Amino acid sequence: MAESAELTLNGQSYTLPVIEGTEHEKAFDISKLRDQTGYITLDPGYKNTGACKSAITFLNGEEGILRYRGYPIEQLAEKSSFIEVAYLLIYGKLPTQDELKNFSSQITQHTLVHEDVRKIFDGFPTAAHPMAILSSLICSLTAFYPESVSPDLSKEEIDLNVIRLMAKISTIAAWTYKNNMGHPLNYPRNDLDYCSNFLYMMFSFPTEKYEINPVVVQALNKLLILHADHEQNCSTSTVRLVGSANASLYGSVSAGINALWGPLHGGANQEVVEMLESIQRDGGDTQKWIDKAKDKDDSFRLMGFGHRVYKNFDPRATIIKKAADDVLKALGLEDSPLLKIAKELEQAALTDEYFVQRKLYPNVDFYSGIIYKAIGIPTEMFTVMFALGRLPGWIAQWKEMRTNKEPIGRPRQIYVGETERDYVAIDQRTA
Ligand code: MLT
Mutate which of 239, 307, 320, 391 for ligand 1? The one with the most ligand atoms within 8 Å of its CB, which is 307
Q: Is the CB of 308 under 6 A from ligand 1?
A: yes
Q: Ligand 1: which residue has its CA nearest to atom 8?
A: 233
Backbone angles phi, psi at 128, to 5 degrees: -60, 145
Mutate which of 58, 225, 260, 265 for ligand 1? The one with the most ligand atoms within 8 Å of its CB, which is 265
Domain at 74-406: CATH code: 1.10.580.10
Round to whole Å and give the CA distance between 20 and 53.
10
Q: Ligand 1: which residue has its CA nearest to atom 7?
A: 233
**Per-position pLDDT tens, the chain of length 431:** 789 999 999 999 999 999 999 999 999 999 999 999 999 999 999 999 999 999 999 999 999 999 999 999 999 999 999 999 999 999 999 999 999 999 999 999 999 999 999 999 999 998 999 999 999 999 999 999 999 999 999 999 999 999 999 999 999 999 999 999 999 999 999 999 999 999 999 999 999 999 999 999 999 999 999 999 999 999 999 999 999 999 999 999 999 999 999 988 998 888 999 999 999 999 999 999 999 999 999 999 999 999 989 988 899 999 998 888 889 999 999 888 888 899 899 998 889 999 999 999 999 999 998 899 999 999 999 999 999 999 999 999 999 999 999 999 999 999 999 999 999 999 999 99
Measured from the Cα of 308, ligand 1's closest atom is: 9
Measured from the Cα of 227, ligand 1's closest atom is: 2
Measured from the Cα of 363, ligand 1's closest atom is: 5
Quote the ligand 1 centre to 376 CA distance (angstroms).
Answer: 24
Do the domains at 4-50 and 74-406 have one common CATH topology? no
Q: Ligand 1: which residue has its CA nearest to atom 9?
A: 233
250 neighbors 165 (Cβ within 8 angstroms): yes
Give the start-to-end residue ranges of the domains of the chain.
4-50, 74-406
Q: Is the CB of 233 under 6 A from ligand 1?
A: yes
The conformational region for residue 306 under phi > 0 = left, psi -120 to 50 = alpha, else beta, is left
Classify domain 4-50 at the CATH topology level. Answer: Rubrerythrin, domain 2 (2.20.28)
Round to whole Å and give the CA distance between 328 and 428.
70
Quote the ligand 1 centre to 265 CA distance (angstroms).
Answer: 7
The neighbour count for residue 338, using CB atoms within 10 Å, is 18
The per-residue pLDDT for 196 is: 98
Q: Ligand 1: which residue has its CA nearest to atom 2?
A: 230
Q: Is the CB of 390 under 6 A from ligand 1?
A: no
Round to whole Å and give the CA distance between 58 and 160.
27
Round to whole Å and give the CA distance between 222 and 204.
22
Quote the ligand 1 centre to 230 CA distance (angstroms).
Answer: 6
Q: Is the CB of 46 under 6 A from ligand 1?
A: no
The per-residue pLDDT for 350 is: 87
Q: Residue 314 carries which side chain, given as an amino acid letter?
A: D
Mutate which of 47, 308, 318, 366 for ligand 1? The one with the most ligand atoms within 8 Å of its CB, which is 308
The per-residue pLDDT for 348 is: 87
Quote the ligand 1 centre to 54 CA distance (angstroms).
Answer: 16
Closest CA to 239 of 256, 260, 227, 258: 256
Catalytic residue set: 307, 365
Mutate which of 47, 234, 318 for ligand 1? The one with the most ligand atoms within 8 Å of its CB, which is 234
Round to whole Å and give the CA distance between 49 and 41.
9
The whole model's pTM is what? 0.95
The per-residue pLDDT for 269 is: 87
Quote the ligand 1 centre to 237 CA distance (angstroms).
Answer: 11
Measured from the Cα of 234, ligand 1's closest atom is: 9
Backbone angles phi, psi at 28, to 5 degrees: -85, 130
Q: Is 278 exposed, middle or buried (0-12, 13-18, 19+ CB in 10 A)?
A: exposed
The per-residue pLDDT for 214 is: 94
Q: Is the CB of 230 under 6 A from ligand 1?
A: yes
Quote the ligand 1 centre to 366 CA distance (angstroms).
Answer: 13
Quote the ligand 1 centre to 233 CA distance (angstroms).
Answer: 5
> Which residues, 6 or more positions from 287, have their beta carbon under 8 angstroms from its beta carbon?
none
Quote the ligand 1 centre to 384 CA distance (angstroms).
Answer: 15
Measured from the Cα of 236, ligand 1's closest atom is: 3
